[in-house]
Amino acid sequence: MTGGRAWVAEAIRRIEADSNRSADTHLHVFPLPPEWSIDLYLKDESVHPTGSLKHRLARSLFLYGLANGDIRAGTTLVDATSGSTAISEAYFARMLGLEFVAVVPRATTRAKLELIEQAGGRCHLVDRAEDIYAEAERLGALPGHHYLDQFGMASIVTDWRGNNNIAMSIFEQMAQERFPIPAWIVVGAGTGGTSATIGRYCRYRRVETRLAVVDPEGSVFHEAWRTGNRDVTGPGSRIEGIGRPRVEPSFVPTVIDEMFTVPDAASVAAMRLIRDRTGRTVGASTGTNMVGVIQLIARMRAERRTGSIVTLICDSGDRYRQTYWDDEWVAAQGWDVEAERARLEELLDAPMDPVHSPRGAALS
């Protein structure tokens, strides 16, 4: 084996060993009345070494780049990201002794930049948020550099047929439950990679599970799914980790069965509802997931259906102590969280009328 191939082999071994040391992420049961015969599970992606669902994406990007010959000894890695993906990519770069550069908008908070730097990354600032893609691509084209391109590659680098992807993990963990084949799996979309993997896997495995994707206000994914227009643009999302101002290449609308647009205030309200009912402090994107889940539960009850629903805890709320978990910051955004909380609880707690469906209007 040549020196270059030997380095790649050792790099892959390190990443695989890191994965092997980590237990699979847990499925937690969310308490619902047993007489409903609807079971809800939260798959806790916050327990990854880098604290979020994006750990899976970063690992896949690195393994793909190594196997593809794009990442070698001494390669400087670049991506357009200012959130959890950057932290995870910096983690794997440090593991392999490589430099990682996150191209981020200049308006990114100092707290976010520090998290990336603490993980071993370097932040390259650009004035306009929409320029991060072109600048990352430019840097990645420099000699000795490689553009990881999370938004373009997320639906490609993960083996959607299995190989311990998140969809396979869900179905294996559900095998002994009373409703082992979920009626619904509910996720958000940032790159679109997670929804693409789960949607493809469900079709490949020929299961009846349907995929629902939640989209925060300001994002364009729901509109693209509804109309088929991939050129639609919007202001973007204020819920970190999900939603985009443009339709990303890895978003695959054809594998999605249902989408919901979720108000930001509802995402924050649901995030807090999860904490109050489970004791788990989560981020706002998990709240967005929960809003979609609550609507599906109300629908299943109205239709007298039974079954299970699985969604994700995308990350811990610890990263958002100064934002989504700060009452003053939330109030400054103009979000009426209490009103949304009341609506969610009405949907979730409404008694079942023998004839009529649960009270409460849908939030999308």
204 and 283 co-located in one domain: yes
The H or E element spanning position 30 is: strand 27-30
Examine the pLDDT at 355 and tell me if it is beyond 50.
no
Domain count, the chain: 2
Q: What is the 3-state secondary structure (H, E, C) of 244-300?
A: CCECCCCCCHHHCCEEEEECHHHHHHHHHHHHHHHCCCECHHHHHHHHHHHHHHHHH
The CATH number for 195's domain is 3.40.50.1100
Of 228, 283, 217, 218, nearest to 251 by C-alpha is 228
**Which of 306 and 23 is assigned the larger pLDDT?**
306
pLDDT, average across residues 5-18: 96
Contact (Cβ atoms closer than 8 angstroms) between residue 350 and residue 359:
yes
The predicted pLDDT at position 112 comes to 86
What pTM value is reported for the model? 0.93
The predicted pLDDT at position 357 comes to 43
The H or E element spanning position 27 is: strand 27-30
Q: Report how far apart, in Å, the C-alpha atoms of 360 and of each of 99, 252, 303 are.
A: 52, 31, 15
What's CA 305's distance to the chain center, in Å?
Answer: 27
Any domain includes 299: yes
205 and 310 co-located in one domain: yes
Q: Tell which of 155, 184, 200 closes a domain.
A: 155
Cα–Cα distance between 187 and 243 in angstroms, integer?
11
Hey, what amino acid is at 293? V
- 162-201 in b/e burial notation, b at 16+ Cβ within 10 A? eeebbbbbbbebbeeeeeeebbbbbbbbbbbbbbbbbbbb
SS3 41: strand
The predicted pLDDT at position 7 comes to 97
Tokens 């550099």 found at: 145
The predicted pLDDT at position 210 comes to 99
The predicted pLDDT at position 82 comes to 75
188 and 140 co-located in one domain: no
- 49-86 in b/e burial notation, b at 16+ Cβ within 10 A? ebbbbbbbbbbbbbbbbbeeebbbeebbbbbbbbbbbb
Cα–Cα distance between 130 and 309 in angstroms, integer?
36
pLDDT per residue over 199-213, tens digit each? 999 999 999 999 999
SS3 49: coil
177 and 290 co-located in one domain: yes
Which two three-digit tokens encode residue 145? 């550099």
The predicted pLDDT at position 358 comes to 44
Examine the pLDDT at 141 and tell me if it is beyond 90.
yes
Which two three-digit tokens encode residue 148? 């990881």
Which two three-digit tokens encode residue 41? 């599970």
Q: What is the mean pLDDT of the chain?
A: 94
285 and 161 co-located in one domain: yes
Of 307, 311, 236, 220, nearest to 271 by C-alpha is 311
The H or E element spanning position 39 is: strand 38-44
Which two three-digit tokens encode residue 200? 């493809």
Any domain includes 7: no
Any domain includes 333: yes
The model's confidence at residue 331, banded by pLDDT at 50, 70 and 90, is: very high
182 and 311 co-located in one domain: yes
Helix extents (H) in the chain = 3-21, 54-67, 84-96, 110-118, 132-140, 150-157, 166-173, 193-204, 221-227, 264-278, 284-302, 327-332, 337-349
- Bridge partners of 103? 80, 124
166 and 237 co-located in one domain: yes
Any domain includes 2: no
208 and 68 co-located in one domain: no
Contact (Cβ atoms closer than 8 angstroms) between residue 89 and residue 57:
no
Any domain includes 214: yes
273 and 148 co-located in one domain: no
pLDDT per residue over 257-281, tens digit each? 999 999 999 999 999 999 999 999 9
**Which of 82 and 323 is assigned the larger pLDDT?**
323
The model's confidence at residue 111, banded by pLDDT at 50, 70 and 90, is: confident
222 and 277 co-located in one domain: yes
Domain enclosing residue 138, as ranges: 54-155
213 and 132 co-located in one domain: no
The model's confidence at residue 354, banded by pLDDT at 50, 70 and 90, is: very low
The model's confidence at residue 361, banded by pLDDT at 50, 70 and 90, is: very low
Cα–Cα distance between 316 and 163 in angstroms, integer?
26
What's CA 67's distance to the chain center, in Å?
Answer: 25
Q: Tell which of 95, 129, 155 closes a domain.
A: 155
The model's confidence at residue 351, banded by pLDDT at 50, 70 and 90, is: confident
- Bridge partners of 43? 27, 312
Which two three-digit tokens encode residue 73? 């000894």
Examine the pLDDT at 364 and tell me if it is beyond 50.
no
Any domain includes 3: no
Cα–Cα distance between 291 and 265 in angstroms, integer?
11
The predicted pLDDT at position 1 comes to 53
Examine the pLDDT at 353 and tell me if it is beyond 90.
no
Examine the pLDDT at 167 and tell me if it is beyond 50.
yes
Any domain includes 218: yes
pLDDT, average across residues 226-249: 96
Cα–Cα distance between 33 and 69 in angstroms, integer?
52
Cα-Cα end-to-end distance for the chain? 57
Examine the pLDDT at 102 and tell me if it is beyond 60.
yes
203 and 304 co-located in one domain: yes
Q: Tell which of 103, 133, 155 closes a domain.
A: 155
pLDDT, average across residues 16-39: 93
